[in-house]
Amino acid sequence: MNIHEYQAKQIFAKYGVPTPRGIIANTPAQAMTNAQELGGSVWVVKAQIHAGGRGLGGGVKLAKSLTEVKELASEILGMTLVTHQTGPEGKLVQKVYIEEGADIADELYLGVVLDRAKEMPVIMASTEGGMAIEDVAHNTPEKIIKVAVDPAIGFQGFHGRELVFGLGITDKAEQGKFIKFAKALYTLYLENDAEMIEINPLVKTGSGDFIALDGKMGFDDSALGRHPDIEDMRDISEEDADEREASRHGLSYIALDGEIGCMVNGAGLAMGTMDTINYMGGTPANFLDVGGSANAQTVAKGFEIILKNPKVKAIFVNIFGGIVRCDRIANGILEATKMINVNVPVIVRLDGTNAPEAAEILKNANIKNIIVATDLGDGAAKAIAAAKGE
């Protein structure tokens, strides 16, 4: 789960990570009031969406008067912001964060992510603040300092020294401030079961203070149960409605661009089914994992979600029945077709336990648009042909 910048900064503040003062607004009028309350003469109006690259997309603007704050807020609120992370369809801006201006002397990068190879969190820092870290990693990897910190020992002095010397921070007072900053960030990463934190840019001010000018956080979904305060920060409008609907029913769904709807048990086989369709010349319309218990209800829900996509011309149901017997799944599919009006050809491949009985059940049901396939390759071929109207 991801949260907005302003929410990440609320968490930062709790842990003593310095941030500029700011207030969230839903309307231009509120934006202006917020600016007034913050005081000063320069404000930043920032679109709040769950994606990076907002500045380049025109979602972050500087205002030098209260009227300008209002104008910019009305410009940004309601706009569909397209960044390198939103995809071409962009994201609707529903909130703006009004922040006091900062005195920027230098821009750095600081993040914490899981290092899967080392199996511990790694702090990443760079002098190349304000740029996409992927680009820095690609073009000048030597400019990224990585310090893995084992939670068993916690953030030690040497971790901090590796960071500040790596970044070339030589002033002793600044070193102390940066180390305190990084240690607090590491602590909040662990204590909140974060999956990723990114501060880009982290700003050094003219007076040598460090401030999180931006903030991005994602959390481990498996750990949300023990963080109700973070679960409360969930912004449903930022999530794909179909993916959410699917997940409420225990299905894992992701929309793609193609024509062949896929319903599969198991994430690996679901990806493998998409790959096979693609390899054989077709186009998958979605990823859909119905999970371990493919019964009539889950299959019906799967059909419903797949068929919401008007591009779908055929559905490939690819189930490898293990503990769940194929004959029961076959009956589930038949029941599901009674619950949902399925108006495209459905290619069904059931393999594994009791597969021959399942094929028999489907054949005897004699439903016009159900086509039985014998294996994965056969199923993909039949689905591609059906989608072409053959």
Partner 1 sequence: MSILVNKDTKVIVQGFTGKEGSFHAEQCMAYGTKIVGGVTPNKGGTTHLGQPVFNTVQEAVSTTGATVSMIFVPPAFVADAVMEAAEAGIELAVIITEGAPVRDMQMAKAHANKFNMKTIGPNCPGIITAEECKIGIMPGMIFKKGNIGLISKSGTLTYEGANQVCNEGFGISTAVGIGGDPIIGLSYKQLLPMFEADPDTHAIVMIGEIGGDLEIQAAAYIKEHITKPVVAFIAGQTAPAGKRMGHAGAIISGGAGTAAEKMAALEAAGVRVVVSPAEIGKAIAEVMAKR
Q: Which listed range, 37-45, 132-140, 141-149, 338-346, lies at the site for partner 1 (CB under 8 A)?
A: 132-140
Q: Looking at beta carbons only, is 104 or 120 nearer to partner 1?
A: 120
Q: Looking at beta carbons only, is 165 or 279 nearer to partner 1?
A: 279
Q: Which listed range, 10-18, 30-38, 61-69, 188-196, lies at the site for partner 1 (CB under 8 A)?
A: 188-196
Q: Which listed range, 12-20, 27-35, 161-169, 220-228, lies at the site for partner 1 (CB under 8 A)?
A: 220-228
Amino acid occupying residue 83: T
- 253 an active-site residue? no
286 binds partner 1 (CB under 8 A): no
74 binds partner 1 (CB under 8 A): no
Question: Out of 53, 101, 130, 352, which residue is the one contacting partner 1 (CB under 8 A)?
Answer: 352
Query: 3-class secondary structure for the chain?
Result: CECCHHHHHHHHHHCCCCCCCEEEECCHHHHHHHHHHHCCCCEEEEECCCCCCCCCCCCEEEECCHHHHHHHHHHHCCCEECCCCCCCCCEECCCEEEEECCCEEEEEEEEEEEECCCCEEEEEEECCCCCCHHHHHHHCHHHEEEEECCCCCCCCHHHHHHHHHHHCCCCHHHHHHHHHHHHHHHHHHHHCCEEEEEEEEEEEECCCCEEECCCEEEECHHHHHHCHHHHCCCCHHHCCHHHHHHHHCCCEEEECCCCEEEEECCHHHHHHHHHHHHHCCCCECEEEECCCCCCHHHHHHHHHHHHCCCCCCEEEEEEEECCCCHHHHHHHHHHHHHHCCCCCCEEEEEEECCHHHHHHHHHHHCCCCEEEECCHHHHHHHHHHHHCCC
Q: Nearest-CA neighbor of 105 among 216, 213, 214?
A: 213
Closest approach, Cβ 385 to partner 1, in A, equals 16
Closest approach, Cβ 268 to partner 1, in A, equals 2
The residues in 145-174 that bind partner 1, with binding defined as CB under 8 A, are: 150-152
Annotated active-site residue in 198, 253, 259, 304: 198
Question: Out of 133, 164, 361, 372, which residue is the one contacting partner 1 (CB under 8 A)?
Answer: 133
Q: Which listed range, 14-22, 66-74, 219-227, 299-307, lies at the site for partner 1 (CB under 8 A)?
A: 219-227
104 binds partner 1 (CB under 8 A): no
Q: Looking at beta carbons only, is 171 or 275 nearer to partner 1?
A: 275
269 binds partner 1 (CB under 8 A): yes
Question: Out of 139, 338, 375, 388, which residue is the one contacting partner 1 (CB under 8 A)?
Answer: 375
- 134 an active-site residue? no
Q: Looking at beta carbons only, is 85 or 127 nearer to partner 1?
A: 85
Q: Looking at beta carbons only, is 127 or 353 nearer to partner 1?
A: 353
What residues line the site for partner 1 (CB under 8 A)?
Answer: 85, 114, 116-117, 119-120, 133-134, 137-138, 150-152, 190, 193, 195, 220-223, 225-226, 252, 254, 256, 264-272, 274-280, 284, 287, 289, 320-323, 351-353, 375-377, 380
